[in-house]
Amino acid sequence: MQWNPNPAITALAVAYGTMLVVINPKLGASRAHEGTDKLIEPIPPVEDDDTAKKSVLNWSTPSAAEFETGIRYTIPHKNDIGQANWHHKGNYLSTVMPQAEAKTVFIHALLRQHSQSPLSKKSRDVQCVAFHPAKPFFFVAVSSST
């Protein structure tokens, strides 16, 4: 579980099993959580747009009952998620699946509702990842195979 570090976004990322859930817990001032909902509201899908890159994972919007509980998105992964980590600005979220054979790291763009896998090579030994707190760097830690 990770709180969004941006104080203007009252979002929480919860990873359990193969599921990543983005929640607006509606804590604090109503302006903050209403602003969060406006900021991360679902983008309508663009039909037959070959120029737009497809997200490698499917973002699902909640039912009306789930929305009332605070759920804003669910992002299913193929393997168990070992880590979820926010970017310091709160607009990106990374996940690591250390047991996956391939595509073990994903970066999710909250405002675009888009996921990508930044590592093109087989990356089975990835243990954790981190965004640099101030610069546009993304760190990947792997286990040594010696």
* pLDDT interval class at 13 (50, 70, 90): very high
Compute φ and ψ for 35, nearest 5 degrees.
-65, -35
**Would 129 be classed as within a structural domain?**
yes
92 in Cβ contact with 138 (< 8 Å): no
Instruction: Please check the confidence at residue 51 and state whether its pLDDT lies above 60.
Output: no
Mean pLDDT of 24-41: 87
Q: What pLDDT, on the 0 to 100 scale, is given for residue 123? A: 65
* Predicted structure pTM score: 0.88
**Would 78 be classed as within a structural domain?**
yes
Question: Could you tell me which of 109, 106, 146 has the C-alpha nearest to residue 123?
Answer: 106
**Would 19 be classed as within a structural domain?**
yes
Q: What pLDDT, on the 0 to 100 scale, is given for residue 145? A: 65
**Would 49 be classed as within a structural domain?**
no
- Using CA atoms, how far apart are residues 145 and 23, in angstroms rounded to an integer? 37
Question: Could you tell me which of 67, 14, 64 has the C-alpha nearest to residue 36?
Answer: 67
Q: What pLDDT, on the 0 to 100 scale, is given for residue 73? A: 94
**Would 24 be classed as within a structural domain?**
yes
Q: What pLDDT, on the 0 to 100 scale, is given for residue 122? A: 64
Q: What pLDDT, on the 0 to 100 scale, is given for residue 79? A: 93
90 in Cβ contact with 110 (< 8 Å): yes
pLDDT in tens, 121-135: 666 688 899 999 999
What six digits make up the tokens of 9? 């976004």
**Would 26 be classed as within a structural domain?**
yes
Percent of the chain with pLDDT over 70: 89
- The secondary structure element, H or E, covering residue 31 is helix 30-39
Q: Tell me, what CATH number does 72's domain have?
A: 2.130.10.10
Q: What pLDDT, on the 0 to 100 scale, is given for residue 7? A: 86
**Would 136 be classed as within a structural domain?**
yes
Number of domains in the chain: 1
79 in Cβ contact with 18 (< 8 Å): yes
The residue range of the domain holding 108 is 2-44+54-142
